[in-house]
Amino acid sequence: MKSPKTLLHCLTFTLLLAATIASADASADVVIVVSVKNPISSITAEQASKIFLGKVTTFPNGDNAIPVDQAENAIKDEFYAKVAHKNPAQLTAYWAKIIFTGDGQPPQRLENNIAVKKAIANNPKTIGYIDSNAVDSSVKIVLTP
Amino acid sequence: MSFSIDKLTMTKHCLVVLSLLATSISIAKADEIATTSVVAANTVDVIGETSEEQPSIFKLSGFGTFVLSHSSQGLGDYVLDSTVPKGTGRSQNWAMSNDSRLGLQVSANFSPKISAVLQVISEFQADGTYRPAVEWGNIKYAFTPDSYIRVGRISLPTFLYSDTRKVGYSYPWIRPPAELYRQLTLTSSDGIDAGYRFEMGEVGNTIKLLYGSNIIDRPTSISTSRDLWGIFDKLEYDSTTFSLGYQKRIASSQSLINGIQGAWIPNYDLSAGVSYDPGNWFAVAEWIQRQSTTKTGAMYVSTGVRLDTLTPYITYSQNSRSSFIPGFPAPTVASIQNSKRSQSTVSLGLRWDFTRNMDIELQYDRVKLGDNSNGYLTNVPAGVTLYGSTFHVISVGVNFVF
């Protein structure tokens, strides 16, 4: 009677340990940013998730929102893990459903933090996520998830 | 003698799978290069206001699944679709025909309002080949980002996984539960549809209306559906999704043996599904009812846990015997036998997302046939009854998208 419980505890411990190691490994700190010209000052993780997953197309104030993604990197992984609770495979599966039924396309993918900041500077409707170290006066943080 | 043939066939199959796998990997590799150029093109697009370069209009994407299955029941073929002539069991020891397919899609964004999509799929067909066919191809006009109409060959979301059942990567299993999804072969409609999405507080609602027709080839007949109407609704709240679907059509089959066109029968499909997916685990259940000259029900429940890259899951699915609807001519001996078909399956599986955009899956199915039928086994020799028996299916496969 005792041994399955012990086994379960061992398993839980191993999983927690693995999770701790995995989270300690992700040193990147993602922030969600918009243009300094954008009137919104904050956004919830739920709202950000809906914008990036293509479920809503506007900011909470009703203005059009254009999300921009990053290429596959640690910042992107952290953003979707924290905001949408999706790992890279789940995100790919989510978009596979939408792309291959002809229902939509994922946000445009930009190469890195610099490209995201440039896009935001060029169009105040743009919303992106970048490494907190890359924040400068051209963008405004609306959420630190 | 038969052993050596089996072995030879298996070696041949393994070789085919390996070479397909190699091709898929090289496609995936090539995609990395393609993605880089797409990213570059998109960069131009967003920053386009200050740049002279043209953004890319066309985008190529694709998906593939290669699955080898083996059934322990040697007296009948385990197939998932009434359109295919044979499968694993009696005809083949190991078969890749049940779940393997390759899809290519070209999307074109002509403007924010006008776009088009063309998808071609190669999979096992009624004629026993992998001849590619146009799965869907349509032009979309978006009035707003949340409302559109489409004209052409359009995906048919009759049941929860109907329009994504061919994209193996998009769901955790080797295949959507057979007892429910083999009830309806239609995956597309030639016609028109309209979609509208709106938010009610925290609840997102997506509604689709559809009208069209469909023709499918079967091994010994052609099935035509006309006056196909559908209304499909999806409600999303937090991690929970509710879906409801209702579809009506008038269908008839023409025999390829004697050319006789059957009666035009109204068909109704009703579906209700619910899924909960907070991220680290999932649960999904669906119930459907089909009606033509008979009424049939089917359901499944499935749950799984996501442990980093591993997703173990368990599924139970079943369908009920059909009951005859009054008001039609007296059923034939064959249709009485067909109405008795029922079976249930317990599936245990494991998905391993070993790299980005690619996974490996292993699934075990324990299939129990109903007491009065051979279930959905095909090519069972005349006079053989496997009523109430149990058999086992093992499947191993790889999925990718790019």
> B204-222, pLDDT tens digit by residue?
999 999 999 999 998 889 9
Average pLDDT for chain B:
88
Which of B21-25, B118-122, B340-344 has the least mean pLDDT?
B21-25
pLDDT at B19: 43
List the structure tokens of B192. Answer: 């028109």
Cα angle B190, B157, B202; round to 5 = 130
**CA torsion angle for A87, A92, A98, A99 (degrees, to 10)?**
160
Instruction: Return the percentage of chain B with pLDDT > 90, whole number.
Output: 80
Residue type, B338: N
Chain A residue with minimal CA distance to B164? A97
Chain A residue with minimal CA distance to B107? A102
Residues in chain A closer than 8 A to B117 (CB atoms): 102
**pLDDT exceeds 70 at position B16:** no
Q: Residue B300's beta-bridge partner residues?
A: B286, B317
pLDDT at B185: 86
Task: Answer yes or no: do B204 and A55 touch at CB < 8 A.
Answer: yes
Residues in chain B closer than 8 A to A99 (CB atoms): 61, 105, 107
Which residue among B38, B155, B280 sits closest to A101, beta carbon to beta carbon? B155
pLDDT at A99: 95
Measured CA to CA, the distance from residue B220 to residue B15 in angstroms comes to 31
Instruction: Return the percentage of chain B with pLDDT > 70, whole number.
Output: 86
**pLDDT exceeds 50 at position B114:** yes
Measured CA to CA, the distance from residue A70 to residue A90 in angstroms comes to 16
Q: Is A28-143 CATH 2.40.50.100? A: no
Contacts 24+ apart (CB under 8 A), A64-67: A64/A125, A64/B145, A65/A125, A65/A127, A66/A107, A66/A123, A66/A125, A66/A126, A66/A127, A66/B46, A67/A107, A67/A126, A67/A127, A67/A128
Please give, rounded to a whole number of angstroms, the shortest distance from the CA of B10 to a CA of chain A.
31
* Average pLDDT for B356-377: 96
Residues in chain B closer than 8 A to A46 (CB atoms): 202, 238
Q: Residue B188's beta-bridge partner residues?
A: B155
**pLDDT exceeds 70 at position B7:** no
Which residue among B46, B61, B353 sits closest to A68, beta carbon to beta carbon? B46
Task: Answer yes or no: do B357 and A92 touch at CB < 8 A.
Answer: yes
pLDDT at B81: 86
Chain B residue with minimal CA distance to A64? B145
**Cα atoms in the 13 Å half-sphere on the side-chain side of A100:** 31
* Structural domains of chain B, ranges and CATH numbers in brackets: 57-401 (2.40.160.10)
pLDDT tens, chain A, 145 aa long: 445 555 556 555 555 555 544 444 445 699 999 999 999 999 999 999 999 999 999 999 999 999 999 999 999 999 999 999 999 999 999 999 999 998 889 999 999 999 999 999 999 999 999 999 999 999 999 999 9
Residues in chain A closer than 8 A to B195 (CB atoms): 103
Residues in chain A closer than 8 A to B359 (CB atoms): 89
Q: What is the pLDDT of residues B76-89, one digit of tens each?
A: 999 998 889 999 99
Q: Phi, psi at residue A18, to the nearest 5°?
A: -60, -45
Q: What is the pLDDT of residues B130-141, one digit of tens each?
A: 999 999 999 999
Query: What is the Cα A63 distance to its own chain's centre?
Result: 20
What per-residue string of b and e applies to B241-260 under the rule 16 or more CB within 10 Å gives b?
A: bebebebebbbebeeeeeee
**Among A78, A77, A55, which residue's Cα sits nearest to residue A65?**
A55
Here the ipTM equals 0.83
Task: Answer yes or no: do A72 and B170 touch at CB < 8 A.
Answer: no
pLDDT at B83: 87
Residues in chain A closer than 8 A to B167 (CB atoms): 96-97, 100
